[in-house]
Amino acid sequence: MNKERIERLNNFESVIDYRFEDLHLLDTALTHRSYSNEIRDPDLSDNERLEFLGDSVIALCISDILIAEFPTLKEGDLSKLRASVVNEHSLAKVAALFSLGSYLLLGKGEEAYGGRTKRSILADAFEAVTGALFLDGGYEQVFPFIKNIFEPLLAGGIGDANHRDYKSMFQEFCQKEYNTIPHYEHTGKHGPDHETLFEVRISIGEKTEATGIGRNKKAAEQDAARKALENLADKAE
């Protein structure tokens, strides 16, 4: 690492409020495969192994939080709630909050095609940073890091946390593209009265687009609309 790279990494440490004992871990976490393939330095590693680790670490941290906050929810409901906030969309949003894309090492091709703002790359890099933090500081360091980020999302849902009206956005899309409006069907609820999760299915005509969950019907509808928009965006890529 040259002096300029070290300064950039130190700046990112300030952004996430954590100082690495092994700065090479952070450097690896922020190195995309396209860059390592282009440089062809045998001593340079990309972030895919750390991404693999970070994915599991995030899942463990969120599971830990959910087990503590929802002591009576069943396994299936816990899994649905975890999946509602831990996905490519939310991870990329978190990465963007840290301006993570600006710290990545990318190959020229990925750079030219907007890799610094690509959702999949940002989400993977955030997982890699989490994996690096876990290796450097252990669970006692990574757990509060993840908890501070995701508790607001768990408390209010992705839609509320980002102040986005996904229902209106999806309805506008359906009216423009299909000359119709989406249909919301409340398909059930799970858990005890004080910790109920509502489930909603959203469809266009006869085709189901997505299923959402939330702590009330409104939140579940927003979650379903958000997922439907994500599915449409993925198909368009």
Last-in-domain residue among 156, 188, 208? 156
Out of 55, 77, 124, 209, pick the active-site residue. Answer: 55
CA dihedral 210, 127, 82, 228 (to 10 degrees): -10
Residues 148 and 178 occupy one common structural domain = no
Q: Are residues 13 and 122 in the same domain?
A: yes
192 and 136 assigned to the same domain? no
**What confidence tier does 233 reach under pLDDT thresholds 50, 70, 90?**
low
Mind listing the pLDDT tens digit for each residue in 57-80? 999 999 999 898 878 778 887 887
Note whether 101 and 116 are within 8 A (CB): yes
- Summarize the chain as % helix, strand, coil (round to 5): 70, 10, 20
Please indicate, yes or no, if residue 19 is contained in any of the structural domains.
yes
pLDDT of 162 reads 41
Higher per-residue pLDDT: 28 or 36: 28
**How many domains would you assign to the chain?**
2
| Band of residue 167 on the pLDDT scale cut at 50, 70, 90 | confident
Asked if residue 161 belongs to a domain, the reply is no
Task: Count the residues in the chain.
Answer: 237
Predicted TM-score (pTM) of this structure: 0.69
Among candidate residues 156, 186, 203, the one where a domain is terminated: 156
Known catalytic membership, residue 41:
no
The pair of three-digit structure tokens given for residue 3, joined into one six-digit string:
């002096």
User: Quick one: average pLDDT of 89-111?
Assistant: 90
127 is known as an active-site residue: yes
The verdict on residue 171 lying in a domain is: yes
Q: Is the pLDDT at 10 greater than 90, yes or no?
A: yes
Q: Single out the residue in 127, 156, 185 at which a domain terminates.
A: 156
Residues 146 and 219 grouped into a single domain: no
Q: What is the pLDDT of residue 220?
A: 87
User: In which domain, by residue range, is 184 found?
Assistant: 166-236
Show the beta-strand stretches assigned E in 86-125: none
Residue of 46, 124, 127, 199 marked active site? 127
Q: State the CATH number of the domain containing residue 125.
A: 1.10.1520.10
22 located within any domain: yes
Same domain, 114 and 191: no
Same domain assignment for residues 189 and 145: no
Q: Are residues 91 and 202 in the same domain?
A: no
CATH number, domain at 185? 3.30.160.20
| Residue 145 maps to a domain | yes
Digit-coded pLDDT (tens) for 12-28 = 999 999 999 999 999 99
Number of alpha helices (DSSP H) and beta strands (DSSP E) in the chain: 11, 3
On whether both 42 and 108 belong to a single domain, the answer is: yes
Mutual orientation of helices 119-137 and 88-97 as an angle, nearest 10°? 70
Residues 7 and 84 in one domain: yes
pLDDT class for 193, splitting at 50, 70, 90? Answer: confident
| Same structural domain, 176 and 152 | no
Nearest to 83 by CA among 164, 165, 199: 199
